[in-house]
Homo-oligomer: A and B are copies of this chain.
């Protein structure tokens, strides 16, 4: 797992992934008292960066394996990414979801051609169901973050940030990244360490779900006491990955933790100043830049996703726009 894997992933994604813009707004800078540049991954296909890792992983499979199909556990952004990449590459995709997943997410996953298989959270074992399906049909499991080709795909975001920062004359900056299991964070960190060493990644997590931050401080993997109770559902994971954690340990600065209210407030700022739609988990990095970071140095923010329902978005606008 190194920069060559990320460069190879970029070549495989060329012409498929959106090269998302690095946005900047004078009025946002005026609000913040510093220049803030926002990598708008909410504009990525399927509304989040997850498409990059999914397409990277699926395109790296040998054609015969891929033709048998892929499997993912998710009711969220990873499922969307895997489903679309599979359809584009002509591979069957099976998405295993809890039977109480929101109807819209089920419909959206089916709309891009994936088969949805349900399990009962209370009585059934998701992993056992997935393993049986994989065995029976020869499917390949695409893990959401702790696997090299997924990390490499997410790292392509970092290559683009390095190029766009250079074009704007930014040699030194913190790069704030919304962080769940660490696939995006570690991928970007690897890319920047090679291509723009003056840009330093800092993970951003929801308050109370700061497993990465605590792991970085303690030097060993720490877990979250719970995986429910935040509106930032897209980035709530039990613990950092076995692959992603050592990369973050080697390359990332101290983490930030932000409240749900700060995430909502940042969604309203993104609406007003940047004209982009962010989901709470995709807004925590912007929240950290606006409400936690100190000083007036340039900061780069990765806005990782925009898959939010209208009701939650309206809450952000009602309260903070």
Contacts and interface: CB of A to CB of B under 8 A. Distances in A.
Contacts of A224: none
A21 interface: yes
A43 to B, nearest CB: 6
B310 A43 contact: no
Interface in A299-321: 306-307, 310, 313-314, 317-318, 321
Interface residues of A, number: 39
Interface string A176-201: 00000000000000000000000000
A86 B145 CA distance: 46
Contacts of A42: 275
A112 B25 CA distance: 10
A18 B276 CA distance: 14
Contacts of A272: 310
A11 interface: no
B276 A27 contact: no
Nearest to A40: B43
B27 A23 contact: no
Contact of A112 (B27, B84, B167, B268): B27
- SS class, residues of chain A in contact with chain B: helix
A275 B310 CA distance: 11
Q: Lowest 6 CB-CB distances: which A-B pairs, in order? A: A275-B306, A310-B321, A275-B277, A42-B275, A310-B317, A30-B111
A26 interface: yes
A203 interface: no
A229 interface: no
A119 interface: no
Interface of A: 15, 18-21, 23-27, 30, 40, 42-43, 45-47, 84, 87, 108, 111-112, 167, 268, 271-272, 274-278, 306-307, 310, 313-314, 317-318, 321
B18 A21 contact: yes
A20 B108 CA distance: 26
Contacts of A27: 108, 111-112
A30 to B, nearest CB: 5
A272 B27 CA distance: 25
A24 B45 contact: yes
A310 B111 contact: no
A210 to B, nearest CB: 26
A21 B21 contact: yes
A18 B23 CA distance: 8
Contact of A43 (B23, B307, B313, B317): B23
B26 A45 contact: yes
